[in-house]
Chains A and B, each alone.
Chain A
Amino acid sequence: MSDVAPKELRIVGFLCNWCSYGGADTAGVSRFRQPTDLRVIRVPCSGRVDPLFVVRALLTGADGVLVSGCHPRDCHYSDGNFYARRRLEMLKQLLPFVGIDERRFHYTWVSASEGQKWQQVVTNFTKQIHELGPLHEKKEKAV
């Protein structure tokens, strides 16, 4: 939990460098306002995202995880997001089985020119996580 709780929850985002990170940049350039909760981890491709990164994040303190890549067929590396799509869909079905609400994990496709879409994704997902509330009990800050 961040210092500015309860204003913010911990949302981690894995963004592919070529499309979604670019889309987030475009949203920034266009000054599209977004809630501040999201923390971005840049990856070269959504195919680089091992579903276990998402699990690790959710188990160690994240309240929500977002993965975003190029639209299928537009992957900078041809096939990376095809693998991502399969693996992340599998994770989406597994998470509720272990008692984690599947709405805490969202994967989507945002291209470098889709600044508006990025703003919507971030705003709506942050709202969704706030509605679900924190996943972990508030930890005492380590001295």
Chain B
Amino acid sequence: MRVGVFICHCGSNIAGTIDVAKVAAETRKIPGVAFATNYMYTCSEPGQKEITDAIAREHLDRIVVAACSPRMHENTFRKTIEKAGLNRYFLEMANIREHISWIGLDKELNTNKAIEEVAMAVSKAMQDKPLFSSSFKVNKRVVVIGGGVAGMQAALDCADGGLEVVMVEKSPAIGGMMARLDKTFPTIDCSICILGPKMVDVAQHDKIKLYAYSEIEEIKGYVGNYQIKIRKKAAYVDWTKCTGCGLCMEKCPTKNAYDYFNFGAAPTRAINIPFPQAIPKKAKIDPKYCRQFTKGKCGVCAKVCPTGAINYEQQDEIVTEDVGAIVVATGYGLLDQERLPEYGGGRYPDAITGIQYERILNASGPTSGHIIRPSDHEEPKTVVFVSCAGSRDKSVGVPYCSNFCCMYIAKQAILTKDHIPDSQSYVFYMDIRAPGKGYDEFTRRAQEEYGAKYIRGRVSRIYPKGKKMIVQGADTLLGTTVEVEADLVVLATAAIAADGAPQMAEKLHISYDTFGFYVESHPKLRPVETNTSGVFLAGACQGLKDIPASVTQGSAAAAKVLSLFSKDMLESDPAIAQVNNNACVGCLKCVKTCPFGAIVEDKLRDGRTVAKVIETVCAGCGVCTSTCPCGAIQLQHFTDNQLLAEVSTICQM
């Protein structure tokens, strides 16, 4: 074994507080180290040439670079030694910059620590084995989970890029939250007018297969080769026959069904088409409210349907789609008003949420765009908007900012004035967060042009008094408490993770944070990738964001998918677990503990049961290695022997 060690000065970053010459000198004394030197900037071109030259000249077979963090330059130096003819996994790095030279000034202690860290890296390197990638085919189809604006953008970009796309949307129609909006800030574009064409594009694109009112049942496989089971939920209407004429909805006798699309702003029929521009424009029966299901007698819709599309016996159906990549665009949810008892906890009909107000403002909404109070259907003259209803509040469990409420409140204040010219809006705010293009100007417009009165302070309590709602709050700029008698109160309830987000994450083998938002690979540099190969994120499910940001991420995710599929074959990462069949006793503890299900039971020719690692699924965590009692399964590049060598080197120095 001939180990070459290269100690980097990194200018004065390392050499300033570490005697690099001494480290090299001491390292030369270690048995097995054939060559040790120090260099100014090892990652530079001449620095890398030093390494390749030394490999050839000194016949080195393992390399240790003592420099910055391996998280920085491990790949750089792996490529370097590969160019010199060595297997890329013969490289180890000792972090003597972030972990030593930058955190202390005592040269003697730092130098000693560097010598010891290098010695550990040398003992690990001496046990490095050559590792080789294998190639596997990739299925160039993609599934997009979620039919909101981010998902639709991702689907369209992928489809336009030539890929086959499967879109799975859990509600009966695509469009997501954006389809529910009346207008969008800051241009006051009609939301469904700009979204509608996109929805039609998705429905009509010959490369996009849409499963609406369907959910992901199971995901098996690995990047390039997923088998996805999709549950097509029973709508009790045969969608191949339904024309979306709406006659059933007109005649349905049950008028008090919960309207999911309108967030309960008004009731709907038990059989309904969610909204006029719905795609697919098909009816669905809600069995919780339908008399045929709850009482066993009605059947009116079946009688009036001109195409005979109603089918009360319809069952859920499971279909399988094989794809190579997954884009997750499952969006967000909204905090239940119940969690805000100071604001009525949902008991007061005239204290509504932002989305409910949005539906009331909408011309195709339950009130045909007339702003009316839910209690007595009268037109309100004083509307109070409450920002941060739940957001930025540790006591409610939502310490973060919901991103878009400041903007939509300004928009709703403007629209209120448009609809009711003699109305007066008040906005209680803590801060006005308007960072986008034209956003700040928009909020000023609401105040200056549309006369919305912005009060800087929080609302402490809302309660009814006669026909009015009393909103008690503070005005911190005036330094006083305020009370506003409102006709209508709109609460900008906190946006939260979508319903079922953790369960979906588990199916996908991706992580989610304390709030249920999915964790990206790197918050700054890789916002649409996850740490699971083949699964990409787009939109609010990764973190709350407004429409332009969601569309951006949709396109970004599509770009990532297209880049993943740009080759016909993918290379697997070889630093994965490997089973030594001679040592494996087939107890299968590793199979049960693998977080990715990457290990399966296998039978050898002699009948013995052993474990087998599926190379392409193994992510290289090593839980199997620490589980196996006999050390038969070892995570390559971090084997027990290697870690034990490091422990014994450092404990016996």
- Contacts from A to B (Cβ < 8 Å): 2-4, 7-8, 10, 12, 17-18, 21-22, 24-25, 27-29, 31-36, 39-45, 47-50, 53, 56-57, 60-62, 73-80, 83, 87, 113, 119
Q: List chain A residues, Cβ under 8 A from B108.
A: 4
Docked complex Cα distance between A44 and B627 (Å): 15
Q: List chain A residues, Cβ under 8 A from B582.
A: none
Cβ–Cβ contact B513 & A74, under 8 A:
yes
Docked complex Cα distance between A55 and B595 (Å): 25
Docked complex Cα distance between A96 and B282 (Å): 67
Cβ–Cβ contact B120 & A39, under 8 A:
yes
Cβ–Cβ contact B102 & A31, under 8 A:
yes
A79 touching B112 in the complex, CB below 8 Å, given contacts A44-B635, A73-B512: no
A21 touching B69 in the complex, CB below 8 Å, given contacts A4-B109, A8-B109: yes
Q: List chain A residues, Cβ under 8 A from B531.
A: 18, 76-77
Q: List chain A residues, Cβ under 8 A from B648.
A: 56, 60
A25 touching B626 in the complex, CB below 8 Å, given contacts A33-B104, A78-B509: no
Task: List 4 A-B pairs, minimum CB-CB distance, nearest first.
Answer: A28-B98, A48-B622, A61-B651, A77-B621
Q: How far is the CB of B16 from chain A (nearest CB, A)?
A: 12
Cβ–Cβ contact A47 & B621, under 8 A:
yes
| Chain A to chain B contacts (Cβ below 8 Å), 5 pairs | A21-B71, A39-B116, A41-B647, A43-B643, A62-B651
Of A61, A79, A87, chain B has the most CB atoms within 10 Å of the CB of A79
| CB contact list, B600-653 vs A, under 8 A | 619-623, 625-627, 635, 638, 640, 643-644, 646-648, 650-653
Cβ–Cβ contact B117 & A39, under 8 A:
yes
Cβ–Cβ contact A47 & B109, under 8 A:
no
Q: How far is the CB of A75 from chain B (nearest CB, A)?
A: 6
Q: List chain A residues, Cβ under 8 A from B387.
A: none
Query: Which A-chain residue is minimally distant from B631 (CB atoms)?
Result: A50
Q: List chain A residues, Cβ under 8 A from B105.
A: 33
Cβ–Cβ contact B647 & A48, under 8 A:
no
A/B pair count, beta carbons within 8 Å: 153
Q: List chain A residues, Cβ under 8 A from B70.
A: 42
Docked complex Cα distance between A24 and B646 (Å): 19
| CB contact list, B83-117 vs A, under 8 A | 95, 97-100, 102-106, 108-110, 112-113, 116-117
Cβ–Cβ contact B511 & A78, under 8 A:
yes
Cβ–Cβ contact A78 & B71, under 8 A:
no
Q: How far is the CB of A79 from chain B (nearest CB, A)?
A: 4
Docked complex Cα distance between A77 and B69 (Å): 21
Q: List chain A residues, Cβ under 8 A from B646.
A: 41
0/1 interface trace, chain B 393-437, chain A, CB 8 Å (1 if under): 000000000000000000000000000000000000000000000
Docked complex Cα distance between A53 and B640 (Å): 9
B566 in the interface, Cβ–Cβ < 8 Å?
no
Cβ–Cβ contact A48 & B625, under 8 A:
yes
Cβ–Cβ contact A28 & B103, under 8 A:
yes
Q: List chain B residues, Cβ under 8 A from A27.
A: 98, 103
Query: Which A-chain residue is minimally distant from B522 (CB atoms)?
Result: A112
Q: How far is the CB of A87 from chain B (nearest CB, A)?
A: 8
Q: List chain A residues, Cβ under 8 A from B71.
A: 17, 21-22, 25
Q: List chain B residues, Cβ under 8 A from A76.
A: 511, 531, 621
Cβ–Cβ contact A45 & B647, under 8 A:
no
Q: How far is the CB of B170 from chain A (nearest CB, A)?
A: 23
A60 touching B647 in the complex, CB below 8 Å, given contacts A25-B71, A78-B510: yes
Contact partner of A61 (CB less than 8 A), chosen from B511, B627, B652, is: B652
Of A35, A73, A113, chain B has the most CB atoms within 10 Å of the CB of A73
Docked complex Cα distance between A3 and B108 (Å): 11
Given contacts A41-B643, A77-B531, 13 further A-B contacts (CB under 8 A): A2-B653, A24-B99, A28-B99, A39-B113, A39-B120, A40-B99, A41-B647, A44-B638, A74-B519, A77-B619, A78-B506, A78-B509, A83-B593
| CB contact list, B35-69 vs A, under 8 A | 69
Cβ–Cβ contact B511 & A33, under 8 A:
no
Docked complex Cα distance between A10 and B627 (Å): 27
Cβ–Cβ contact B117 & A79, under 8 A:
no
Q: List chain A residues, Cβ under 8 A from B102.
A: 28-29, 31
Cβ–Cβ contact B112 & A2, under 8 A:
yes
Query: Which B-chain residue is minimally distant from A28 (CB atoms)?
Result: B98
Q: How far is the CB of A126 from chain B (nearest CB, A)?
A: 12
Docked complex Cα distance between A27 and B102 (Å): 9
Q: List chain B residues, Cβ under 8 A from A36.
A: 100, 104, 106, 109-110, 112-113
Docked complex Cα distance between A41 and B647 (Å): 8
Contact partner of B621 (CB less than 8 A), chosen from A3, A74, A80, is: A80
Cβ–Cβ contact A48 & B595, under 8 A:
no
